[in-house]
Amino acid sequence: MFIEAARAAGARRRLLLGPIKLQGRLDIQRMPSSMAERTWCLGAEGRLARKLFRDLFTNYTNALRPVADTDQALNVTLEVTLSQIIDMDERNQVLTLYLWIRQEWTDAYLRWDPDAYGGLDAIRIPSSLVWRPDIVLYNKADAQPTASASTNVVLRHDGAVRWDAPAITRSSCRVDVSAFPFDAQRCGLTFGSWTHGGHQLDVRPRGAAASLADFVENVEWRVLGMPARRRVLTYGCCSEPYPDVTFTLLLRRRAAAYVCNLLLPCVLISLLAPLAFHLPADSGEKVSLGVTVLLALTVFQLLLAESMPPAESVPLIGKYYMATMTMVTFSTALTILIMNLHYCGPSARPVPAWARALLLGRLARGLCVQERGEPCGQSRPLKSPPSPQPPDGGDCPPAVPCREPWCLCRQEALLRHVATIANTFHSHRAAQCCHEDWKRLARVMDRFFLGIFFSMALVMSLLVLVQAL
């Protein structure tokens, strides 16, 4: 009974799985012929590629230059694509770039007939299997030895080899900061063979410039171009010429951040400094304003010195800072001198005649400095009036009281006292007028130097800001 139950279960299983197997056979039979052909082609291509690889590299060596004639120079075409500016170290004068480097040459020992290998005209193999030119960056600024990227090469049936490899280069670049922050830099990258001379290997650029199609914009530098130039040089160590290709990266600094953070504050401070001449002398803040402006410029000068590399030439913004600090120093010194004139006391000497004629006359009228109050030139001390005489020509005895309506003796005494008071008043008035003349002279000099230093600050600021246009 157990055997019969097992046979019945097997029959039911065959009944259920039969249509599924039949459907699978039908699906296989209905498979498109193109898919089958493609699968067979891929397998055939893999077998042909392995056969081609064995045929090419059985007796091949990558240690020797792949030319049929040893006297023939091997031509290498170099193409550079700039991808990104990683860093521009101005203090150490090192430029770090991310490049895509393409090298193309012809290997005379890696050729085949595509018809003999099913139309296979190109294969991709590791670059370490083929001979590669020893092209390096001459002006390398890295202590690490040059290492070739382990990328594949594309090998064509006519022997053409194309090697695309990414590279992060650190090259030396002489940075000229004389026009900072409106400077432009030229950084060259020189590529050439390290051991092969021009008779064995000739390197040439592909195109007139490096490609910038995939360049990622930099926040500080704007790339103007990267032209290529081929040179043939003869070094002292060797008699044969050595060709090289130099790609010159043309850069211009984006100065917006430096203008906002360093230049505009200095411009505003420099325009504020001459206003110390317009500040009233009695306020007591004229010298304090000049010293405060000078301290602010010193702080900005220190911030600039931290961000600038040590160089022989002084940058443009540094020259502007020094000129502004010199102007503020002179304006503060002149402010102290003018305040000394303003506070000349009554015991001071009168204003010299030449200063009165030139400064208080012509210059004051030209600067519209008006005289306040009564003109001081009209003040003159009064002479003592003549003493009255008695009618009979005699003297008036002082002890005898005067009973006459017209008392000449007492009138004479009163007139003498009035003359003394008037002379004292006019002497005080003359001293006051002398003091006012010195104050007016100080106001004229304030107005004059206000125009001079404000014009100087405005012209210097415009000359620097024009460089940004």
Question: 237: domain CATH number?
Answer: 2.70.170.10
* Same domain? 245 vs 271: no
* Same domain? 238 vs 207: yes
* Same domain? 424 vs 448: yes
Q: Has residue 387 got a pLDDT over 70? A: no
pLDDT band with cut points at 50, 70 and 90 for residue 236: confident
pLDDT band with cut points at 50, 70 and 90 for residue 417: low
pLDDT at 42: 41
pLDDT at 469: 64
Q: How many domains does the chain have?
A: 2
pLDDT at 428: 56
* Same domain? 98 vs 132: yes
pLDDT at 196: 92
Model pLDDT for residues 85-113, shown as the tens digit of each residue: 999 998 889 999 999 999 999 999 999 99
* Same domain? 133 vs 240: yes
Q: Has residue 33 got a pLDDT over 60? A: no
Q: Has residue 188 got a pLDDT over 90? A: yes
Domain extent, residue 455, equals 261-372+413-466
* Same domain? 127 vs 208: yes
SS3 sequence of the chain: CHHHHHHHHHHHHHHHHHHHHHHHHHHHHCCCHHHHHHHHHHHHHHHHHHHHHHHHHCCCCCCCCCCCCCCCCEEEEEEEEEEEEEEEECCCCEEEEEEEEEEEEECCCCCCCHHHHCCCCEEEEEHHHCCCCCEEECCECCCCCCCCCCCEEEEECCCEEEEEEEEEEEEECCCCCCCCCCCEEEEEEEEEECCCCCCCEEEEECCCECECCCCECCCCEEEEECEEEEEEECCCCCCCCEEEEEEEEEEEECCHHHHHHHHHHHHHHHHHHHHHHCCCHHHCCHHHHHHHHHHHHHHHHHHHHHHCCCCCCCCHHHHHHHHHHHHHHHHHHHHHHHHHHHCCCCCCCCCCHHHHHHHHHHHHHHCCCCCCCCCHHHCCCCCCCCCCCCCCCCCCCCCCCCCCCCCHHHHHHHHHHHHHHHHHHHHHHHHHHHHHHHHHHHHHHHHHHHHHHHHHHHHHHHHHHHCCC
pLDDT band with cut points at 50, 70 and 90 for residue 396: very low
Classify residue 211: in a domain, yes or no: yes
* Same domain? 308 vs 357: yes
Model pLDDT for residues 66-79, shown as the tens digit of each residue: 998 888 999 999 99
* Same domain? 242 vs 301: no
For the segment 456-460, the average pLDDT, to the nearest whole number, is: 91
pLDDT at 28: 32
pLDDT band with cut points at 50, 70 and 90 for residue 380: very low
* Same domain? 164 vs 313: no
**Residue where a domain stops, chosen among 254, 270, 293:** 254
Classify residue 387: in a domain, yes or no: no
Percent of the chain residues topping a pLDDT of 70:
72
pLDDT band with cut points at 50, 70 and 90 for residue 434: low
Classify residue 234: in a domain, yes or no: yes
**Residue where a domain stops, chosen among 228, 254, 280:** 254
Q: Has residue 81 got a pLDDT over 50? A: yes
pLDDT band with cut points at 50, 70 and 90 for residue 19: very low
pLDDT at 31: 40
This prediction has a pTM of 0.70
* Same domain? 150 vs 190: yes
Per-chain mean pLDDT for the chain: 79
**Residue where a domain stops, chosen among 254, 275, 296:** 254
Model pLDDT for residues 258-289, shown as the tens digit of each residue: 888 888 888 888 888 888 888 887 777 888 88
Top-confidence residue, 58 or 355: 58
Classify residue 384: in a domain, yes or no: no
Classify residue 232: in a domain, yes or no: yes
Classify residue 41: in a domain, yes or no: no
* Same domain? 224 vs 314: no
Least confident segment among 126-130, 147-151, 158-162, 367-371:
367-371
Classify residue 187: in a domain, yes or no: yes
Model pLDDT for residues 310-326, shown as the tens digit of each residue: 777 788 888 899 999 99
* Same domain? 118 vs 214: yes
Top-confidence residue, 339 or 362: 339
Top-confidence residue, 349 or 372: 349
Q: Has residue 351 got a pLDDT over 90? A: no
Classify residue 406: in a domain, yes or no: no
